[in-house]
């Protein structure tokens, strides 16, 4: 792959960066500090760049693609491709790969972890102990049970299905809304997200971000979930109308939220910091050593297959 010029958009993984720098000619986009400098950098190196490796933060948008006439492949270090202009890639014949399957377990584990942490107030309890507030047994408030609660899943793809399996092990009845009803799941299907929210206690967002799913969790859905309901988002921040979510949490119209993603990452609405019924994570769904290594190996394998003219490992376009 020595001749392959790769634009790496973000410092996403040290192993991936090291392997890419050993195997290809690497261009590090983030080292240019401003949008203008980054544009100039891409323009200046466009003649050499044939591949973009992006992630869930910085992918390959329309402007970047337009600056790269020799672009052949976008290999994303993520399963979600909302930061890649897929339509433009299709139109220009640029290949696109992502990293499905290898991160499913971690993201599903985290969704359950977030639900339990939020409902059992694990982070709040941890803060309580660390602050030296625990003076005697029985002086702490009670929390909400997770086992047996109805879990509603928005998006029953690979990750949504893995969340469902895990929640089933906790005795939770599963319901879901997906673009289409899946055969033979045994789960209750709702044909819209509002009915799903009205009939579950824990609503988990696990679908890809598209124009159809942007702000799918709006005020009406949040109110349908209600003061006893909990929202878990391990999908993408823009799935949720964030100001409405914040308002509902502050006003007590929603029981709680466990969030791994936000509308304008890395910005997290400050009002959430004061609330004990929310658990806030910095977009770490796939963030284990094992999974990030597997994701990196998929990116490297896809680039290698592309150069060798072999079938891509995980083609999307
Ligand atoms: C993905 O792969 O899309 C995740 O959000 C990255 O952590």
On whether the 104-280 domain is CATH 3.40.50.300, my answer is no
Q: Cα–chain-centroid distance for residue 298?
A: 18
Q: What is the mean pLDDT of the chain?
A: 97
Angle at 265 between CA 260 and CA 270, to 5 degrees: 80
Q: Kindly give the distance from the C-alpha atom of residue 203 to the centroid of ligand 1, in angstroms, as a whole number.
A: 19
Query: How does pLDDT run across 50-92, given as a tens digit for each residue?
Result: 999 999 999 999 999 999 999 999 999 999 999 999 999 999 9
286 lines ligand 1 (CB under 6 A): yes
Overall average pLDDT of the 174-195 stretch = 96
78 lines ligand 1 (CB under 6 A): yes
CA–CA distance, 51 with 121 (Å, rounded to integer): 45
Q: What is the pLDDT of residue 80?
A: 97
Q: Which atom of ligand 1 lies nearest, measured to the CA of 76?
A: 2
The SS3 assignment for 152 reads: strand
Q: Is the pLDDT of residue 208 over 90?
A: yes
Query: How does pLDDT run across 106-136, given as a tens digit for each residue?
Result: 999 999 999 999 999 999 999 999 999 999 8
Confidence of residue 171 (pLDDT cuts 50, 70, 90): very high
Overall average pLDDT of the 144-156 stretch = 98
Q: How many CB atoms lie under 10 A from the CB of residue 288?
A: 15
Q: Hey, whose CA ends up nearest to atom 6 of ligand 1?
A: 78
Q: Where are the domains of the chain?
A: 5-100+289-307, 104-280
Confidence of residue 137 (pLDDT cuts 50, 70, 90): confident
Q: Cα–chain-centroid distance for residue 65?
A: 23
For 193, counting Cβ atoms within 10 Å of its Cβ (0-12 exposed, 13-18 middle, 19+ buried), the class is buried
Judged by phi (left if over 0) then psi (alpha if -120 to 50, else beta), residue 93 lies in: left
Q: Which atom of ligand 1 lies nearest, measured to the CA of 103?
A: 2
- The ipTM, to two decimals, is 0.94
Q: What is the pLDDT of residue 1?
A: 86
237 lines ligand 1 (CB under 6 A): no
Q: What is the pLDDT of residue 139?
A: 73
CA–CA distance, 278 with 257 (Å, rounded to integer): 5
CA–CA distance, 100 with 80 (Å, rounded to integer): 9
Q: Kindly give the distance from the C-alpha atom of residue 285 to the centroid of ligand 1, in angstroms, as a whole number.
A: 7
Find, among 241, 231, 282, the residue nearest to 56 by Cα: 282
178 lines ligand 1 (CB under 6 A): no
Q: Which CATH number fits domain 5-100+289-307: 3.40.640.10, 3.40.630.10, 1.20.950.20, 3.40.50.720?
A: 3.40.50.720
Here the tokens at position 286 are 């796939």
Cα distances from 302 to residues 11, 95, 296, 305, 311, in angstroms, run 19, 10, 10, 5, 8
Here the tokens at position 172 are 């939770």
């Amino acid at each position: 792959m020595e001749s392959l010029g790769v634009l790496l958009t973000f410092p996403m993984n040290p192993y991936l960066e090291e392997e890419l720098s050993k195997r290809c000619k690497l261009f590090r986009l983030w080292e240019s500090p401003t949008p203008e400098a980054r544009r100039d950098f891409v323009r200046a190196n466009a003649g050499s760049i044939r591949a973009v490796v992006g992630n869930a933060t910085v992918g390959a948008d329309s402007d970047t693609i337009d600056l790269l006439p020799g672009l052949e492949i976008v290999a994303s270090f993520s399963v979600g491709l909302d930061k890649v202009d897929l339509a433009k890639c299709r139109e220009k014949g640029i290949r696109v790969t992502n990293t499905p399957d290898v991160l499913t377990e971690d993201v599903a584990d985290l969704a359950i972890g977030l639900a339990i942490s939020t409902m059992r107030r694990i982070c709040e309890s941890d803060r309580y102990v660390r602050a030296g507030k625990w003076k005697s047994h029985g002086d702490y408030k009670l929390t909400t049970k997770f086992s047996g609660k109805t879990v509603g899943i928005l998006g029953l793809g690979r990750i949504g299905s893995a969340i469902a399996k895990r929640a089933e092990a906790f005795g939770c009845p599963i319901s879901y809304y997906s673009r289409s009803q899946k055969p033979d799941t045994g789960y209750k299907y709702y044909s819209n997200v509002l009915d799903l929210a009205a009939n579950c206690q824990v609503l988990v967002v696990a679908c890809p971000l598209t124009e159809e799913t942007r702000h799918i969790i709006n005020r009406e859905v949040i109110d349908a979930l209600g003061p006893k309901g909990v929202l878990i988002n391990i999908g993408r921040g823009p799935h949720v109308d964030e100001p409405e979510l914040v308002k509902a949490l502050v006003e007590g119209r929603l029981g709680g939220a466990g969030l791994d993603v936000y509308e304008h990452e890395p910005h997290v609405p400050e009002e959430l910091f004061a609330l004990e019924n929310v658990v806030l994570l910095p977009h770490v769904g796939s963030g284990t050593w094992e999974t990030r290594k597997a994701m990196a190996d998929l990116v490297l394998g896809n680039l290698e297959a592309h150069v060798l003219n072999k079938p891509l490992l995980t083609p999307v376009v």
